[in-house]
A and B are shown apart, each in its own frame.
Chain A
Amino acid sequence: MRRARRSDRARFRGRLLLLLVVSALALPVRASALTVAAMPLEEMTGYATLVVRARCIDRQVTRSPDGRIESLARFTVLEEAKGSATGVVTVRQLGGRIEDRELVVPGAPLSEPGDDVVLFLEPYDGEVLGVVGLALGYMPVAVLPGSGAAVRVARTLGGSFASGGVRPVTELLERVRGIVTQQGTR
């Protein structure tokens, strides 16, 4: 019986090791995106005219004269890392619902009131701003017990974030400020 257990255990360990190898193979290692070009943090910061932590106030869905459904989300700026905002910014988002018609763009975030996010923003149309790289420039903030406000960073951001994982928001914003100083754009 004991021998049988050892055999099962060995087989289980073998499968576990195999799975670990398989999962390692499943990890993406490429540097660019199919729908979006995954950019390192320096490049995203360079594209953005405004990098802020902000909270969504509301999101209005509109239909343009040519029939396009899109959303305009308003955010209260909580903290700036690049550029300056007047307190509330309006951001164009792809998708929304009007009557019986729903538009969705896979990979394009849609905000809900109360959402706490770090936004990399660029000019779109007048006062309305766009998000750099769809989901790449839209990082939801979660408040974790004991560790405070944090964001899940993509490995593609590179540098000190190359290992991915969950990092404090303050670390991300400080890194952006450092890049801005290096790039001399502020």
Chain B
Amino acid sequence: MRRLLATLAAVLSAALSVSVPATRADAYAFLYVPSSQGVPRRWNLPELADGRVPWVIAAAVGGNVTGDRSPLDVVSAAFASWEVVTSSTIAFGFQGTTGARERSARDGVNLVTLGAQESLGSGVLAATFLTSDAAGKLVDVDIVFGRGIAFSTSVSADPGSYDLEAIATHEVGHFLGLEHSGLSRATMVPFSDRGDAHQRTPESDDRIGASVLYPADGFLAGTGALAGRITIAGAPVFLSHVVVANVNGPIVASTLSAPDGSYRVEGLAPDVYVVYAEPLDGPVAPGNVSGFRAGFGGNPSTGYGTFFH
């Protein structure tokens, strides 16, 4: 009973703090990677040929990649998995293979490479390098897979290897401008196991992110947003993980609070939702959303538990 009362007190506290209107209207969801001006990084599709973001793949592939499909087929499937999100206009254009295997930030070539010699550090499976201007317009993005990592291209996930399609789908999410998600079932969660292929298909949180960045006609008009502010005793809470769930249970989306405690989750279909806020305390931790932190500055708040609203 004491525990229930404590929980209810927390709920009431959260209700009071969440009901305060956001003071920062552009407190973007942490799904995005903000530029130094605090705006999301994204491609300017109208200025690209056919509205598609071009990409090439390095012809050289290390001996660490095995399986029954070609790396090109697998990476193409990863790009396609985002194109089928009907509420988003994001589209990609494959431009062929290249002899280059190392990334460059100023060649304007969006390279996917499984044969790079660059060291990403011990235990790093893949990294996506996003280059933009200060206004957030992406100009060059390269995806580098770790050398020496056992990747599988097989249709059926190989329990002894990392699933290349799942990891590529996650990296393509970065390629279009998404940050890591704190939701374990999201494609953009930074964690997976050997043989785990579930990230091959973007989930609700991922699809909403892609749709808000590149909205199809009618998407924004047909959806709404939840906004509020997370505070403890009046003090703003930075980097609180704010989760939006359907009242019947399924988690729909999540975000992080900005330095002033404000949060905003867009792209929500008309429905009844519940919101809870919790510390970003791992396995997804503040370091995993460094792009978001860097865009806003400041250090995460600590010393609080989960609040429901």
Contacts and interface: CB of A to CB of B under 8 A. Distances in A.
B287 A109 contact: yes
Nearest to A102: B132
Nearest to B122: A47
A132 B121 contact: yes
The interface centre, meaning the residue of B127, B134, B162, B287 with most chain A CB atoms within 10 A of its CB, is: B287
Contacts of B121: 36, 122, 130-134, 137
Contacts of A33: 123, 125, 190-192
A116 B105 CA distance: 30
A106 B102 CA distance: 19
B283 A154 contact: yes
Interface string B110-142: 000000000111111111111111100001000
Most chain A CB neighbours (cut-off 10 Å) among B35, B103, B123, B283: B123
A103 B294 CA distance: 11
B283 A22 contact: no
A179 to B, nearest CB: 16
Q: Is the interface of A mostly helix, strand, loop or mixed?
A: mixed
Interface string A40-78: 000110010000000000000000001111000000000
A10 interface: no
B234 interface: no
A95 B129 CA distance: 8
Contacts of A124: 119
Contacts of B299: 140, 142
Interface stretch (B72-80, B83-91, B241-249, B256-264): B241-249
B290 A23 contact: no
A103 B122 CA distance: 21
Nearest to A147: B303
B194 interface: yes
A15 B247 contact: yes
B38 to A, nearest CB: 12
Interface of A: 13, 15-16, 18-19, 21-23, 25-39, 43-44, 47, 66-69, 94-95, 97, 100-110, 112, 122, 124, 130-140, 142, 144, 150, 152-156, 164-166
* Minimum-distance CB pairs A-B, first 5: A135-B287, A28-B184, A133-B123, A154-B282, A37-B123
Interface of B: 4, 7, 11, 33, 35-36, 41, 102-107, 119-134, 139, 149, 162, 166-167, 170-171, 174, 179-180, 183-185, 189-194, 196, 199, 243, 245, 247, 249-251, 274, 276, 278, 281-291, 294, 297, 299-300, 302-303, 306, 308
